[in-house]
Amino acid sequence: MSRKLFGTDGIRGTTNSFPMTPEIAMCVGMAAGRYFVRGNHRHRVVIGKDTRLSGYMLEPALTAGFTAVGMDVVLVGPMPTPAVAMLTKSLRADLGVMLSASHNPYQDNGIKLFGPDGYKLSDEVELEIEARLNGDMDKYLAKPADLGRARRLEDAKGRYIEFAKSTFPPNLRLDGLKVVIDCANGAAYQVAPTVLWELGADVVVLGNKPDGFNINDGCGSTAPEAMCAAVVSHGADLGIALDGDADRLMLADEQGQLVDGDQLMALIGTSWAASRRLRGDGVVATVMSNLAFERYLQACGLKVVRTQVGDRYVVEHMRRHGFNVGGEQSGHIIMNDFTTTGDGLIAALQVLAVIVGSGKPASQSCRLFTPFPQLMKNARYGAPDPLALPDVKK
């Protein structure tokens, strides 16, 4: 069966155009809810969102769909994608939903689904949900006495804040460090600065005044120039730029120079290997990662396993083959000792732990290799799979 709704990262599109309409959102809630209404327990779904205006429209549409098939809904409001995944598992929910289009502008939105284990749904489950959308939806409706209820989880932010802090070494503090954090006017605008402040950092905050329209607008990981400039002007030790749903990041050292995901994976991977925390004898990256990154880790006695582009494929390989560090050059960093998906804030905390522990500035700690020249361009290709061509196979 071919996909019409689900892409590599859930369902995504322009608001009030197919498939990002309230009607389809409600039907997705019904179809996904019905798939997960199994067993005799009271069924529950966690719904989070970022700060884009359309969240006010899509959140109640999803709620209507889930409650219509008998699922209780737990609303957590604006929260990072990894926080929704964590809360889904923590609350023993059957399903988690994040309303976000990640680094896209406010006009777009998306629906990401997580299973009860906090991981993104498999292709097979997504296809099954999509098949239900094409069937008779009325047969999924619950009896009047079996409708679900909706409630708001008032302490959701506090739960994630404490979880994030628990990933930082308990014997370390951020006292004496000045950190710039750009929240992209997105989902982490409240939780990320709070975590850094509670760990002792002197925090300079950017992108923390969302208005429904300004998410990712000249700020965050896709436009890190303001963060880099703030690092220099404030004399900060490190800059962190998150994207709209805070599942990825870009860093800047104390000189305002950017540090990409390859450098971060190298730093975390070698640090964890030195402390015997690294599993799989290496890290999982994608075909986009720089060759110098791979050569550096090989020189350190570690391997790099590559997957196709998409953090879900990195996560799948990590789970299947026993790795606990992986990610993408774009800044999705997955450490499944802590999280089930990319988490920009927790990745930043692991980098800060290395900086504090080593006593070295970020420009030394975070630059472990010199990238080879690399050019990446998107090219339209309508012919069959090029890797299947006989000349390529030779």
Q: Which helix (H) or strand (E) holds 355?
A: helix 344-358
Q: Specify whether 102 is catalytic.
A: yes
Gap between the Cα atoms of 328 and 314, Å rounded: 8
Gap between the Cα atoms of 33 and 100, Å rounded: 19
Q: Alpha carbon of 1 to those of 5, 7, 19, 123, 382: distances in Å?
A: 12, 13, 18, 11, 20
Closest of 274, 233, 272, 271 to residue 254, by C-alpha: 233
Cα separation of the two ends of the chain: 32
- The angle at the Cα of 327, spanning 318 to 329, to the nearest 5 degrees, equals 150
In sequence order, what are the beta bridge partners of 306?
285
Instruction: Decide if 52 contacts 244 (C-beta within 8 A).
Output: yes
Instruction: Decide if 113 contacts 48 (C-beta within 8 A).
Output: no
Backbone angles phi, psi at 257, to 5 degrees: -95, 135
Point out the catalytic residue in the list 2, 17, 100, 102: 102
In sequence order, what are the beta bridge partners of 252?
239, 258
Catalytic residue numbers read 102
